[in-house]
Chains A and B, each alone.
Chain A
Amino acid sequence: MVLPPVKPHPHIQEGDLVVVYERFDSMKQVVVKSSALFGNRFGNFRMQVCSYSRLTNPSTPRTKILYAADISMVCTFLELEPGSTVVESGTGSGSLTTSLARAVGPEGAVHTFEFHEQRCQAAAEDFRQLGLDSTVHLKQRDIEGQAFPAELAGQADAVFLDLPGPWKVVSSAAQTLQPNSRFCSFSPCIEQVQQICLALSGHGFHYIRSMECLLRPHKVRSITLGSGISEAHSPHNAGQNKKRKRNDGRAANQNAQPAPAKIASPAAFLAANGGNSSMPPLDQGPAAADFLSQSSPCKMNDK
């Protein structure tokens, strides 16, 4: 996720973390030191002359992390605004935490809890480096065992859980939330989703929705389509034989009818679903999916 510094400044300064895109799609993170050299495949550069791009989330994942599609849905369905207070557990790599912090801004607060000591320390270091330490309040705590701290009761505009047993925390989440505010839990398995949904309706949450979201990346390349009949016999393209041949094996469908109208403009753009074999097919079953259960608690303000 793209994340700018809390107070963006237009020029690179000493000690800044920057992301250097070396090519169209490969990137590197660098902390700027004027005395140091930046080396990449194109040689060594003095730091002062690097061109820069906006900061992106620099954590290497330490746990299963949330990615763009999930993050955007979480921020939108939690209805976050600048100044909101969000409570989160577990922090994990902090991937989502940084996006929550970006959404609530320096005017808001993210209280995030992680029970694993090393992850906690590593995340704290990341938040400090990103300049988020005034927005993100990270504590080491076993949330499933100890619940959220009592002093957060009634404080949160939103609660987010990414825990192995989120249903154990629902009652504490209900106490932490303000009336008519949002709750979201992220689980990789449908069984967890079922448990959390039952727990939610038992604790007065309403409008419970379970959803799955996915982004499928596409690559783009140009190909030329043939007419489908042997080049030598085609009446339309005597002069184009050489060029067409190259593409024939790949693109032409031998059974296709000749399509003279298309031959007139043989160059066509094709957006192919990008050869990314790790992407699940469109009709994947729930077992492979991640789920979000979102809801708002039913706490009536009596008149």
Chain B
Amino acid sequence: MSTSVREGDFVILDVNGEKLSFVQVTPKGKARIGKGFVPATALVGLPYGCLVEILEHGELQQVARCVPEQAEAPIAELRSSGQGGQAIVAALASNSATYASKTEFSQEKYRRKKSRKYCVQATLVQPTARSICEGLFAKAPMKIGHLRVDALALLLSFADIGPHSQALVWDGVGGLVTGAVGERMGGHGDVCSVYTGRNGNQDSTRLFNFPDHVRKSIHTCQLVEMQHRLDTPAAQQPVNTSQAEQLPNGHGIPDPDAAQSDGIAMEVDGAPMPMPSNNTRAAAEVAPITSSKPQPADARRQSGTGCLNKGQPLRSSFTSCIIAAPAVSPGAAWHWLRPFLAPSASFAIFSPHMQPLAEFMQTLQHTKEAVAVQLHDIWWREYQVLPFRTHPEMNAAEPGGYVLAGIKIGS
């Protein structure tokens, strides 16, 4: 991870702790902080984690974080010393005749209001699985299948994702899960991301600022092609894909991506992300998720590492599996992916609904294809912690979804 912002990076701007937005540092991009805009390139070289604000003449400036003592200084002095708006707001509050008599709730409201006026500041947050998931969830939870960060965390743990795994991922939420797996594996071992239809939308993986070696470890594989290779001896594999394309209907492979992909199109402030082109992508083509620039075909084909042969997943080769495709039946997904899982592979399946997972759990209990099968619902609550004023956050305790996890056993 780079410690400072580089050209081409995605950066998450946390504005006053109230709003998260994504910006890509491109020559044409703009970063919006409150009502002001600066060229996105103004962020280059700033350390991640730092606090910035836009000055009156429109220049971006890094500001110090307010330490409690500074709240005492007079406002004019604070302004001229460039201390930043936090100290001003604190001083305003302590000077206000009515502030102390306000309820805690309206004190908070007062500070917010003054902050918006005097102190629009943004923290440059490094995109990680954690921050990207929270950013996307805050923006539009439907677009990531209501996969909250606590559910994502559990999927990674239960599926035993880490360096030297071989991970098979069915990511129906736009690339967030594939990216999170790539981050945990850090280029040690392969990530194979399954898609259906013509092209899987995995745009969110771009938000991770992956270095090349990680990007190259992430592969996309079309489900139809995977199944086809599984049934066909290596020698007679046809390159023609039109027949293979028919398989899904005959076998009932759903195409959730086709239905969802419009909804998942990412808007990124200052840099709209291009949707994957609608060109027919040959099913045999397996491209590491690198830049959208075309590459020589040879570079795209990964020669046989642990779990892939010419870019295609091998039978019984994956040690970890995550299925986060809320529109796909868990039983169907398991049916397609199971042959690729090694004995003792850990798997974890996410759904915002319990019923499909409960039914599939019962199926597994009968087929005895897995052990240590657990169905959990996920619960998470944040707290405001202050002396004598500790309480759960108001809008917390929304349902977090369900995870079914287990360990595949050999047949």
Contacts and interface: CB of A to CB of B under 8 A. Distances in A.
B113 interface: no
B contact face: mostly helix, strand, loop, or mixed = mixed
Nearest to B183: A81
Interface in B149-169: 149-150, 152-154, 156-158, 160, 162-165
A53 B344 contact: yes
Nearest to A285: B392
A179 B380 contact: no
B186 interface: yes
B105 to A, nearest CB: 19
A215 B375 CA distance: 9
B50 A269 contact: no
Given A68-B157, A72-B157, A303-B62, A220 B387 contact: no
B47 interface: yes
A284 B373 CA distance: 26
B130 A218 contact: no
Nearest to A77: B130
Interface in B341-394: 342-346, 354-355, 357-359, 361-362, 365, 368, 371-387, 390, 392
Given A24-B371, A52-B344, A218-B375, A194 B163 contact: no
A197 B384 CA distance: 10
Contact of B385 (A75, A213, A293): A293
Contacts of A269: 355, 358-359, 362
Q: Which residue, B377, B381, B384, has most C-beta atoms of chain A within 10 A?
A: B381
Interface of A: 1-4, 6-8, 10, 21, 23-25, 27, 51-54, 56, 68-69, 71-73, 75-77, 79-83, 99, 102-103, 105-107, 179-180, 190, 193-194, 197-198, 201-202, 204, 206-222, 269-271, 282, 286, 291, 293, 296, 298, 300-301, 303
B160 A2 contact: yes
Contacts of A219: 375
A301 B376 contact: no
A107 B387 contact: no
Nearest to A269: B359
A107 B346 contact: no
B234 interface: no
Contacts of B259: none
Interface string B188-220: 100000000000000000000000000000000
A-B pairs, top 5 by smallest CB distance, nearest first, are A180-B49, A105-B163, A271-B358, A82-B186, A76-B153
Interface residues on B, range: 35 or more
B3 interface: yes
Contact of B130 (A76, A82, A270): A76
A218 B359 CA distance: 12
Nearest to A6: B164
Given A105-B188, A179-B47, A180-B47, A54 B344 contact: yes
B118 interface: no
Contacts of A107: 163, 186, 188
A212 B407 contact: no
A19 B336 CA distance: 27
B375 A222 contact: no
A25 B371 contact: yes
Interface of B: 1, 3-4, 17, 45-50, 62, 64-65, 67-68, 123, 126, 128-131, 149-150, 152-154, 156-158, 160, 162-165, 183-188, 319, 342-346, 354-355, 357-359, 361-362, 365, 368, 371-387, 390, 392, 397, 407, 409-410
Contacts of B385: 190, 193-194, 197, 208, 210, 293
Contacts of A215: 154, 376-379
Contacts of A271: 354-355, 357-358, 361, 375
Contacts of B130: 76-77, 79
B186 A21 contact: no
Contacts of B64: 300
A99 B362 CA distance: 29
A134 B52 CA distance: 41
A99 B162 CA distance: 10
Contacts of B150: 69, 72-73, 213
Contacts of B50: 180, 300-301
Given A82-B184, A301-B4, 6 more contacts: A2-B346, A69-B378, A76-B149, A180-B47, A217-B374, A301-B50
A190 B409 CA distance: 42
A271 B353 CA distance: 11
Nearest to A303: B62
Given A24-B373, A105-B164, A218 B158 contact: no
A180 B380 contact: no
Contacts of B164: 4, 6-8, 105-106
Given A215-B379, A218-B354, A293-B385, A180 B157 contact: no
B115 to A, nearest CB: 15
A2 B157 CA distance: 8
Nearest to A271: B358
A201 B68 CA distance: 9
Contacts of A207: 17, 123
A194 B362 CA distance: 44
Contacts of A69: 150, 154, 378
14 contacts: A2-B407, A4-B162, A8-B319, A51-B343, A52-B343, A105-B162, A180-B50, A180-B126, A194-B385, A194-B386, A209-B382, A211-B380, A212-B382, A220-B375
A220 B362 contact: yes
B83 to A, nearest CB: 13
A204 to B, nearest CB: 7
Contact of B390 (A23, A68, A72, A190): A190
Nearest to B345: A54
Contacts of A282: 379, 397
A82 B163 contact: yes
Given A81-B1, A82-B162, A291-B383, A217 B376 contact: yes
Given A197-B385, A204-B67, A211-B380, A75 B375 contact: no
Contacts of B123: 207
A194 B390 contact: yes
Contacts of B355: 269, 271
